[in-house]
Amino acid sequence: MTKLYLARHGETFDNERQIMQGQTPGELNTNGIRQAEELSLQLVDVSFNAVVASDLWRSVQTARIVAAPHHLEVVTTPLLRERDWGSFTGRFIPDLKDVKPWPDDIETLQQMKDRAGRFLDYIRTTYPDQTVLAVGHGIINKAIQAVFFHKEMHEIEKMKNAEVRILDISL
């Protein structure tokens, strides 16, 4: 049985300022570091075979904190990157609420779900019958769950920073 512990990174400076991060590296703020440390304590007794993270710094940073007591290196993959927000990246989120239509350079929900499916296949084939912690981002984690549960993205509850959900993703 392949068990996936799917986590979201801790809070970042841009989360705190409501800035659309997209595929920028990001950096955990003091609260985000504390959240990652709390997640580490929550998962300290889980026997992980691997820790995988988005290749964006905020996820790597979170994954390293959680992986430390397990003495595991963090493997990164762009499959876990956050949604590419194109020209919305770096903008103040409340200012984007009523923008219609959205620019064409934003990754579509279908593109995200396709990437999420490739991520699940990657975990199943690379880590068969293992327990894996994967640290991603809010929207890609929603896409992963939507694909896994055969639901629409809006049906998946938003993950809080440093929240974890467990999925049995065996073939």
- At 71 the three-state DSSP class reads coil
Q: Which residues of 51-88 are buried (b: 16+ CB within 10 A; e: fewer)?
A: bbbbbbbbbbbbbbbbbeebebebbbbebbbbbbbeeb
71 a catalytic residue:
no
Of 11, 82, 107, 137, catalytic: 82
Of 9, 11, 107, 137, catalytic: 9
Residue type, 112: M
- Cis bond before residue 101 (omega within 30° of 0): yes
Nearest to 39 by CA among 165, 164, 145, 147: 164
Cross-sheet strand order for the sheet of 164-168? 74-77, 50-54, 131-136, 3-8, 164-168
Report CA-CA distances (Å) from 12 to 9, 80, 151: 8, 17, 28
150 a catalytic residue:
no
Provide the annotated active-site residues. Answer: 9, 82
